[in-house]
Amino acid sequence: MPSKDRYHRTYPVSWDQLHRDSRALSWRLLDMGRKWERIVAVVRGGLVPAAVIARELDIHFVDTVCISSYTIRDQGEMSVLKKLEGGGRNWLIIDDLVDTGKTARMVRQMLPEAHFATVYSKPDGRPLVDTFVTEVSQDTWILFPWDSEVQFVEPLVQNRHEE
């Protein structure tokens, strides 16, 4: 089981940056020229990007799939709390991040025809999504705004001397 020891970097994302990146994902999806019928947000991380994308693409049918896997920084057992069926033709699956791809595989099995889009992607999960905005290294923990608060942080050079 992966643990927090696999993360060597942190990539903090502010509310403003998440909004900008979600809008950038909207532009990419809009440029495809497809008429999307609904959004399926992967709960919980996909809720905020899905809301932004639903607004930008004027999609009013928003649903969720609920899969639990993370507890703080550890990815544990996968648990499907709510699933969807229907193939997914002309549907968008939206998540904040594809990391190892475990969650993405489960959602893809539920909705094999849907277009899977994430705001952020890591190399292990990247092959499972169709569209994303920003890629970070596999050893990076993305610190989302709902998991953080503003506080003083030592300069990087200070941390290096302590190692």
- Give the residue among 27, 4, 148 at the shortest CA–CA distance from 73: 4
Largest CA distance in the chain: 55
Catalytic residue among 95, 124, 139, 147: 95
Catalytic residue among 31, 74, 96, 130: 96
Q: What are phi and psi of 122, to 5 degrees?
A: -115, 155
H/E stretch holding 104: helix 102-110
The answer to whether 99 is a known catalytic residue is yes
The answer to whether 96 is a known catalytic residue is yes
Other CB atoms within a 10 A radius of the CB of residue 130 amount to 14
Catalytic residue among 16, 31, 58, 99: 99
The answer to whether 5 is a known catalytic residue is no
Catalytic residues: 95-96, 99
